[in-house]
A = this chain, B = another copy of it.
Amino acid sequence: MQLKDEYRERWRQLQEGMATAGADGCLVSTVVNWFYLTGRVMSGFAYLPAEGEPWFFIKRPVNEQGEHIRYIRKPEDIPALIREVGIPLPETLLLEADELPYREYVRLEGIFHPKATGNATTLFHAARRIKTDYELTLFRLGGKAHTLAYQSIPDLFTPGMKETELQWEIERVMRRCGCMGLIRTFGTSMEIFMGSVLAGDNAEAPSPYDFALGGGGVDFSLPIGGNGTNIEKGMTVMVDIGGTVTPYITDMTRVFSYGRLPEEAYRAHQVSIDIQSVVSELAIPGAVCSELYDVAVRIASKEGLEDFFMGTKQKAQFIGHGIGLQLNEGPILSHRSKDILEKGMVFALEPKFVLPEIGAVGIENSFIVHEHGLEKITTAEEQILPFLET
């Protein structure tokens, strides 16, 4: 399939959703939705009518050529241009209601005066959570590079390091393996740099952000990730740095040990691997995400590890989440989730334990949902890997 057909197919599917919502047009301007629609990032507004190809009303970059491209100075210029190209102005208009700031949304309403508005965020989220074959190809490529980078982590450690020092070396390797670095998230209260490296009890630090585990960070202004803990013998180091080699984020967590760990660490780590096995078996199209979560909690409880599952002082309320152009897409694997797995979804599964005075154990991998089961795209060794002691 040609890439042009890829985008035509995305437009067709979005237009199907628009028809269901009774919408005449959909206007998007956020980076991720613009990129999903076109494979490019531009500053301006992409307008997808109920029928036909989208139109692009852009401010930057300059010098873009295309039959459907018009330059604007401000959004107020758009209605006249829409009339000029001979398509009707929308009576029911979808706008990115969960992404556009209030004043921008209201400004657009004032420009288009639609009889009704609807939520373009919902439309795009529904489309984006089912990945196309092209997107899956990029995911696999990302998973391969992510795996390659992780394989060199044991070589990066030297005794006496702080977790932050190790984190900087891992970040560099990730960059050298092609990571773009920036991790896009949905919502206004999620912030993350490249990911986190957590040694020992820093894995217990309660976080304001809604990640599985947070870490204290080095400054009150960014309470996530390494807090400068010295990596000492008997501690685990959990590495959860995002894969950003392609626009599609891969998520993988591995655990390393400095010196021999208490036996309970190896046992809890194995329970995480077991949970992954059980959930993987159940995770076929039609599987109920809340039940996958409940199964994981039951296994942790049966092993007497419920107090350590997904954190101690603060517990994450999910064991997995969809990934894509943003780190937190649908579906969500939580007790309250209403999501059902579908073919073409891609999600990260991260059953983790935090053991006081030892650190975090467990694994995280990224999976594609196929008709008959999961494909794991992050394939680094899953056992706890020891750092060299000299």
Are the C-beta atoms of A29 and B104 separated by less than 8 Å? no
Chain B residues within 8 Å of A85, by CB = none
A175 contacts partner chain B, Cβ-Cβ < 8 Å: yes
A172 contacts partner chain B, Cβ-Cβ < 8 Å: yes
Residues of A216-242 whose CB lies within 8 A of B: 217-223
Are the C-beta atoms of A189 and B101 separated by less than 8 Å? no
Least Cβ distance of A116 to chain B in Å? 15
Are the C-beta atoms of B247 and A219 separated by less than 8 Å? yes
Q: Which among A59-67, A263-271, A376-384 touches the partner chain?
A: A59-67
A294 contacts partner chain B, Cβ-Cβ < 8 Å: no
The complex is assembled from copies of this chain, and their number is 2
Chain B residues within 8 Å of A325, by CB = 221
Are the C-beta atoms of B40 and A220 separated by less than 8 Å? yes
Residues of A170-187 whose CB lies within 8 A of B: 171-172, 175-176, 178, 180-182, 184
Per DSSP, chain A at the interface is loop
Query: Assuming the A-B contacts A172-B172, A209-B43, are A182 and B188 also in contact, with contact meaning beta carbons closer than 8 angstroms in the complex?
Result: no
Which one of B43, B101, B167, B206 contacts A101 once the chains associate, using CB atoms below 8 Å?
A: B101
Are the C-beta atoms of B219 and A189 separated by less than 8 Å? no
Query: Assuming the A-B contacts A102-B105, A105-B102, are A194 and B181 also in contact, with contact meaning beta carbons closer than 8 angstroms in the complex?
Result: yes
Bound CA span A165–B176, Å: 7
Interface contacts beyond A60-B208, A180-B218: sample of 9 additional A-B pairs, CB < 8 Å, sorted by A: A35-B221, A41-B208, A42-B208, A60-B206, A62-B313, A97-B101, A98-B104, A100-B102, A102-B104
Q: Which residues of A come within 8 Å of B, CB atoms?
A: 29-31, 35, 39-43, 60-63, 95, 97-106, 119, 165, 167-169, 171-172, 175-176, 178, 180-182, 184, 188-189, 191-194, 205-210, 214, 217-223, 246-247, 313-314, 325
